[in-house]
A and B are shown apart, each in its own frame.
Chain A
């Protein structure tokens, strides 16, 4: 029945997205010269597959492209298999080393006000200080990450050159096809302190004239930024994203690019309730629970924290003034704890501890 459905602009856009993904993977396969590159390719194909999960689940989303969506799922799985076969005979020590040299992919989620942005920004800068290439994206339409990184809040959105209008795109806009995602980052991302590269969504305003309320100025670039994050397959880049408060953006799988999910929890009962609701959104990823702003309260039931960032008046003052915590209070206990989180992500994956949320002991 899906085959008889008339192909709309949206369907065509979806098909074009999937074709582009295969071109990217084929290009990566052609250039893959070492085990790390194959591991990166396997991961990249898997990220695309995660994202495709949303399209597979919502059968109304692109009704004319259902057959292509299912075929794409198989194509992506084939790339994952091929990458795994390529490294099947590599000795374990070499493979571990390759895995350890792979850039990280981290999404930070939690209730509003939990501390996602402070953690994402500080973590990004600490990683960059050790010489890593770091790209940090703000997936929240309300600016925050720029400020916490130490950039003016205006320096945020994807530039016009990187985004083009497309009648089929979910929000009417998409990433321009001419550039590779990593080129967009290298060319357009703002350079934050410590060399972190940054992009956000730009400003939110009233509806664009004639468009529905969902087509706000900021929403123009949501689809573009999500696809930018998904498109970065480079093995040597760390990619981090600060997600909008609550479950909406994880629900939409804006964090499809990530391998690791950091769930930030405050001491309030509602913050814990939110975190428990968010855990399933981590799906197959490694989960790290971080308690933030705790005084002497125990962990919330069912949410064993890996890190406990203490309540820190110096950090609160930095927030009040809109200063990056890493500059305003570099020696504070809160920064010390976030440094441990950075050390965890700099460690080889095998040493990063518990993996998916199903393994979090209750």
Chain B
């Protein structure tokens, strides 16, 4: 199974992707976590130490450093995963597509999008789960190009702008032919809020409650799962993991 997680910046994509990956791994699944943000930080939510996240070399940067150019034969995603992935807690394999470090060092921007497409398209998911934490906004969803067999999670918090982007993500996923689109009403403070979001998204919607424990973990740059495993939001994401795989 492949899961693409999208939404507005700051809606909680990485937090949810990270905790979801951890729960799925604990439930016995083999998990690959794909960080598609050119500002990679998914490692934090997975529980990888901060320094390690900072020094991690994404695929594109590593390839460029090794002198690989776009003219060289393409390397299979599976090989790249083995070569440039890092081990995260619970046996999760984490890999980032590309990191933009300074203006115009190379065409990293289009390159990381292409890598996202290659990885999301190529990686086999018969006996494992691939979770792709996409770049903020909708553009990366077009690049990842999830299909009929994939799952799209459209994450939003309560703000009108965030809901609007998640709504557009749902419509875009429908146009791409994705059969399972799940709205995630993140940081909800009331049932009324959750209901309003579900109505606006027009797809099956899962609710994650507002939880100070997530914010506290985020301030420290650690995984909520490690800081407070019994926090309501962490528990809710565990339930989401069961729903997705059932």
Contact = CB atoms under 8 A, between A and B. Distances in A.
A92 interface: no
Contacts of B138: 141-142, 204
Interface residues of A, number: 53
Contacts of B113: 213-214
A112 B54 contact: no
Given A251-B103, A253-B103, A269-B218, A245 B9 contact: yes
Contact of A251 (B104, B135, B142): B104
Contacts of B160: 147, 319-322
A248 interface: yes
Which of B9, B109, B220 counts the most A-chain CB atoms under 10 A from its CB? B9
Interface string A262-302: 00001111100110010011010000000000000100000
Interface string B93-118: 00000001111111111100100010
Which of B39, B113, B165, B215 counts the most A-chain CB atoms under 10 A from its CB? B39
Interface stretch (A6-14, A51-59, A125-133): A51-59
Interface string A305-322: 000000000000001111
The main secondary structure of chain A at its interface with chain B is loop
A50 to B, nearest CB: 9
Given A142-B138, A253-B103, A319 B159 contact: yes
Contacts, number: 152
Interface string A140-167: 1111100110000100000000000000
A206 B175 contact: yes
Interface size class of B (residues with CB under 8 A): 35 or more
Interface in B1-23: 8-11, 14
A113 B103 contact: no
Interface of B: 8-11, 14, 37-39, 41, 44, 50, 53-54, 100-110, 113, 117, 135-139, 142-143, 145, 157-161, 164-165, 168, 172, 175-176, 193, 215, 218-221
10 contacts: A57-B104, A112-B10, A142-B165, A245-B136, A246-B135, A251-B108, A269-B220, A270-B14, A283-B103, A320-B158
- Top 8 A-B residue pairs of the complex, sorted by shortest distance between their CB atoms: A112-B9, A113-B10, A322-B160, A269-B221, A245-B9, A57-B104, A112-B136, A247-B100
